[in-house]
Amino acid sequence: MKIVAVLPPSDQIPAQERLLQGMLKDHEIRIVTSGDALAPLIPEAEILVSTAFVPITGEMIRNAPRLRFLQVAGVGVDHIDMEAARAAGITVANVAAANAVSVAEHVVMVALAMTRDLCNAHTAMRAGQWSLPQWMSRARELAGLTVGIVGMGRIGREVARRLLPFGVTIVYYDVQPLDQATEDELGVTLLPLDDLLAAADIVTVHVPLNENTYHLFDATRFARMKPGAYFINAARAEIVDENALIEALKTRLGAAAIDVFSPEPPQPDHPLFSLPNVILTPHGAGVTVNAQQRIAQGAIQNVLRYLDGRPLADVVIAGTR
């Protein structure tokens, strides 16, 4: 079969290519690192391994008459035109839980970093300033704070498991509430979103991007948050109205930790970059070495399952081709 994999550019590409060719030696493997490189290969591709940074458009799908299986090497599928994939009868799968631990640890990291104002202290020290007075007036414990988790899927639950031992109260919002036994085990309580925003000292977002979550956080929602509260977005940029976030950071919020941008990478003069109370990371919350290995393993195993005619893991669309 003809297999095309779209991977992020890195110096690992030759090694990855050798590995894949060794594992799939009866098949034709091509690895590309851009949409431009992908385009000429699409018409012949039967299996496509896709990552989030190269969108799979409806046009591409319509140009791929032989494509039967689209394996996402990651969790999010919003870079794919799902309607087109569904219409074409293509099977789509992801690696659902692969980055949950990494994202959850990232949330713990930035929650601690924001409540201690870590980055400003670090920057000041590097500039030769002894910033203890500022530190003393800003540093807070996590213990006793209320954390609001918006979206209690796999990542949300891993966040809850890791934050609970810090002595926080955890409330959550999800369109699909947990069962009571799981709520009791995790120590989490469901609240309507607006009540959560009013109660939480830290709000962290873990919902998928879809038509219901686009700009879920707008000026109205930020206005409901506590003055001085902390906001974490390691989900998708479009869930947040960026202008409203910037305004809230200037007027209401204590700090924010932003991992996702639209577009990515953002322009160097992005207004968030000049704010003193923002911690910025390059869409890397879920992209630890461990998660990358887990994602690679999961994607390859699913491709092998597909080639072997066995049931697939983490099917998002069951295809008909």
CB atoms < 10 A from the CB of 20, how many? 21
CB-count exposure of residue 132 (10 Å: 0-12, 13-18, 19+): exposed
185 or 238: whose CB is closer to other proteins?
A: 185
137 or 180: whose CB is closer to other proteins?
A: 180
CB-count exposure of residue 314 (10 Å: 0-12, 13-18, 19+): middle
Sheet architecture: strand order including 315-317: 28-32, 2-6, 47-50, 69-72, 91-93, 315-317
Residues 6+ apart with CB under 8 A from 305: 311, 312, 313
**Of residues 283, 292, 317, 307, the one with CA closest to residue 106:** 283
Segment lying near other proteins (by CB under 8 A), choices 76-84, 106-114, 177-185, 235-243: 177-185
Q: Check binding of 281 to other proteins (CB under 8 A).
A: no
Q: Check binding of 146 to other proteins (CB under 8 A).
A: yes
Count the alpha carbons within 13 Å of 44 in the hemisphere toward its beta carbon: 11
Residue identified by tokens 């009013």 is: 198
Site for other proteins in 181-200 (CB under 8 A): 183-189, 191, 195, 198-199
162 or 305: whose CB is closer to other proteins?
A: 162
CB of 196 vs other proteins, minimal distance in Å: 9
Q: Check binding of 165 to other proteins (CB under 8 A).
A: yes
CB of 165 vs other proteins, minimal distance in Å: 7
| Four-point Cα dihedral 269, 271, 273, 278, nearest 10 | -170
Segment lying near other proteins (by CB under 8 A), choices 20-28, 101-109, 163-171, 284-292: 163-171
Q: With CB under 8 A, what is the number of residues at the site for other proteins?
A: 19
Q: How far apart are alpha carbons 88 and 108 in whole angstroms? A: 41
Per CB under 8 A, the list member of 7, 67, 93, 168 interacting with other proteins is: 168
Binding mask 219-258 for other proteins (x = CB under 8 A): ----------------------------------------
> Rule CB under 8 A: which residues touch other proteins?
146, 164-165, 167-171, 183-189, 191, 195, 198-199
